[in-house]
Structure 1
Amino acid sequence: MSNPYDSDEAEIEASRAPLLDHLVELRSRLIICVIAVALAFVVCFAFSRQIYMFLLHPFAIAAQLLAAEQAAHAQQAGGFDVMKFLNGTKDLFLALVGAREVPDAAGADRLKLVFTAPLEFFFTKLKLAGFGAVVLSFPVLAWQVYGFVAPGLYKRERKAFLPFLVASPTLFLMGAALVYYVILPFVLWFSLSQQIIGDASVSVELLPKVSDYLSLVTTLLLAFGLCFQLPVVLTLLGMAGLISSKALSTGRRYAIVGVFVVAAVVTPPDPISQTMLAVPIILLYEVSIWCVRLIEIRRKREDEEAGRDIVPV
């Protein structure tokens, strides 16, 4: 029987092209990528105000909910209340996903952002448009990269590579959703709760700069989005034979420590947000072990089938 690897080799040989043809193709694909990013940048800059307002929504909800809670507990004694803290976190999440209606309260209009340089907000909108352009044009960029490298891959490798084009942006969006609905609102709600307002002699109020707020949002989005790529990275390493499921299982305890260290670096300095990042990554690490194990089982089955196809003379 014919070996399936022979047909793959023949297909790659048929797709070989001179170096100049590869350079011409690379140039055309780069031009497409530049045009896609440029068009996405124009669109994002045209709607930069709406995008910025969308990113401010967790801040507004956190301020409104905190003002309502402070109005409801105005007659209670001060001090840190664990149940009040947990209930406030739960109400914040329910309000963001639309499952709870936040009541109007006096003081909810205190949400203000400032900029201290004449063109600071303009450059902030440029940065926002650039970040949004990369996100918006990512499908085009990923497809152009795949189209350039696909001719050099075996047929089975192309089939194995395609799911990652879907899994990678999906996991990134999951990390971004966790930031938008959980991490960012909690950080802002906690920050607003540290204000000292209403005291006759002292007033400590949070007035973030527009550029600092965008930096916080983009840093958290990138940190969580990239950390959620762990299954993709480990699965690709498993496909390349660089790691095994046994090694991942054996190093689980060290991986957990490393995850908490990374979470402590990329998140604000509070244990809640660090745990909110570390726990999903640990779960994704366990998923990665199973993905690598499935790859090993499939590779073993393919090797056995290839061995049976070789008939001794």
Structure 2
Amino acid sequence: MSDPKPSQSEGTEETFISHLVELRDRIIRAGLSVIVVFISLVYWAPDIFRLLTRPLMLNLPKDGKMIVTDVTGSFFVPMKVTMLVAFVIALPIVLYQVWAFIAPGLYQHEKRLVGPLVGSSYALFLCGMAFAYFIVFPTIFRVMAHYNAPLGAEMTTDIDNYLSFVMTMFLAFGVTFEVPIIVVLLVRTGLLTVKKLKEIRPYVIVGAFVIAAVVTPPDVFSQLILAIPLIILYEAGIIAARLIVGKQQEPEVEPEDKKGSGAAG
């Protein structure tokens, strides 16, 4: 009589290997999409970098320039910027590859949730980056120039340091604009209720200002630019959670009211 255990283990091993092969293929496709976009943009790398530095250049003194302290900085920094732009452009393809890999293991209702979730997350992250570029950067650089003027200090920066600052701000505001999605997910998964989110609102407000103080330059105006949108987006997340899943939580309170009215009767 043959032992079925070896055949079962072989089947499990084959399934595991097939998943690894599929994961490898998905990663290669995602990486190739980023590389293709990067190659398409690399010719315009200096123009892309100039576009990124435009908010700073507009607030520098007349004839003000950025400096390069690293021998290879003038080459690699624009390449890094172009690669990051390529990644943002190709991100929908990267996310699709991730989705295609995990989709077979999801339930149907989870599949219906992931699509809108990923799309809205991508759109909100882009909105956060746009808010940082068009609103935050000009404001911060204008304020910094105002502080430097009485000191007689010349406002300039190394291109590598500027890139690091810009990426930090893009990430901070991109994640900040994801707050409504995070709030909806917390309510959807049952980890928190809309009522609880309202109760912890004071702590969220304090946390928003703490995060703003850590991420932004040390002036009140710059901190308000991050803290206020964070609080507004939190409130927007509560409203969205109430509209999407709030009705599912209302019956939990209704039976008690009915029981009380029944007892009174």
Matched residue of 1:238: which SS? helix
Sort the Cα spacing of 1:245 and 1:172 in 2 relative to 1 into closer, same or farther, 3 A.
Answer: same
Could you state the TM-score of these two structures normalised by the residue count of structure 1?
A: 0.70
CA drift at 1:43: 3.1
Moved more, 260-269 or 236-245: 236-245
Contact 1:230 1:281 survives alignment (8 Å) = yes
Give yes or no for the alignment of 1:38 onto 2:35: yes
Q: Whose helix fraction is larger, Structure 1's or Structure 2's? A: 2
Give deviations 1:225-245, integer Å, cap 9, x for gaps.
111111112222222221211
Q: How does 1:86-97 map to 2 (within 5 A)?
A: none
Give deviations 1:233-278, integer Å, cap 9, x for gaps.
2222222221211111110111111111111111111111111111
The counterpart of 2:238, out of the listed 289, 294, 300, is 289
Instruction: Tell me the distance in 2 between the aligned counterparts of 1:61 and 1:208.
Output: 14
After the TM superposition, list the runs of 4 or more consecutive aligned residues in structure 1 that deviate by more than 6 angstroms.
none
Contact 2:48 2:78 survives alignment (8 Å) = no
Instruction: Tell me the distance in 1 between the aligned counterparts of 2:154 and 2:246.
Output: 59
The counterpart of 1:191, out of the listed 144, 148, 172, is 144
Matched residue of 2:62: which SS? helix
Instruction: Tell me the distance in 2 between the aligned counterparts of 1:32 and 1:214.
Output: 28
Amino acid corresponding to residue 213 of structure 2 in structure 1: A
Partner residue of 1:155? 108
Instruction: Tell me the distance in 2 between the aligned counterparts of 1:192 and 1:225.
Output: 25
Contact 1:244 1:293 survives alignment (8 Å) = no
Could you state the TM-score of these two structures normalised by the residue count of structure 2?
A: 0.82
Contact 2:57 2:65 survives alignment (8 Å) = no
Give yes or no for the alignment of 1:236 onto 2:185: yes
Instruction: Tell me the distance in 2 between the aligned counterparts of 1:257 and 1:20.
Output: 49
Structure 2, unmatched stretches of 5+, are 1-13, 253-265
* CA-atom RMSD in angstroms: 2.4
CA drift at 1:140: 0.7
Instruction: Tell me the distance in 2 between the aligned counterparts of 1:113 and 1:290.
Output: 44
Amino acid corresponding to residue 257 of structure 1 in structure 2: V
Contact 1:42 1:129 survives alignment (8 Å) = no
Q: How does 1:1-313 map to 2 (within 5 A)?
A: 18-63=15-60, 109-196=62-149, 203-297=152-246, 299=248
Aligned residue pairs total: 239
Sort the Cα spacing of 1:62 and 1:156 in 2 relative to 1 into closer, same or farther, 3 A.
Answer: same
Contact 1:238 1:295 survives alignment (8 Å) = no
Partner residue of 1:95? none
CA drift at 1:123: 2.0
CA drift at 1:299: 4.1
Moved more, 226-235 or 43-52: 43-52
Sort the Cα spacing of 1:118 and 1:240 in 2 relative to 1 into closer, same or farther, 3 A.
Answer: same
Instruction: Tell me the distance in 1 between the aligned counterparts of 2:232 and 2:249.
Output: 26
